[in-house]
Amino acid sequence: MGKKKPRPRRSFTPEFKAEIVGLCRRGDRSVGQVAKDFDLTETAVRLWVSQARVDAGEEPGLTSDERAELARLRAENRRLRQDVDVLKRATAFFANETR
């Protein structure tokens, strides 16, 4: 028996995710069945449903907007740290040049 090939990473629109979450929340089919019907992983669908509950205020956690802001702030923080590092090196270089 050969190993399964890893599934290529796919991205989905927010509208598609909302449609899948709606199908799951309606209760007609289980999360596993919805995932199978749309060729999705059950884990991904469960995460989308959980995030929708957080966004709706039904569960505690970071909302999608808060997650996006956190990612943006982390990227900005990383860039600013790099800028500071460059400035420190430039200061050290010019301090040695003037001696």
Rounded to whole angstroms, what are the CA distances from 67 to 16, 70, 89? Answer: 19, 5, 33
Stated pTM of the model: 0.72
pLDDT at 3: 76
Whether the CB-CB separation of 45 and 20 falls below 8 Å is answered with: yes
pLDDT at res. 21: 96
In single-letter form, the type of residue at position 62 comes to: L
Q: How far is CA 59 from CA 50, 56, 91, 96, in A?
A: 8, 8, 49, 57
Domain spans of the chain, in order of start: 12-61, 63-99
pLDDT over threshold 70, residue 12? yes
- Provide mean pLDDT across the span 14-18: 96
44-79 per-position pLDDT tens digit = 999 999 999 999 999 999 999 999 999 999 999 999
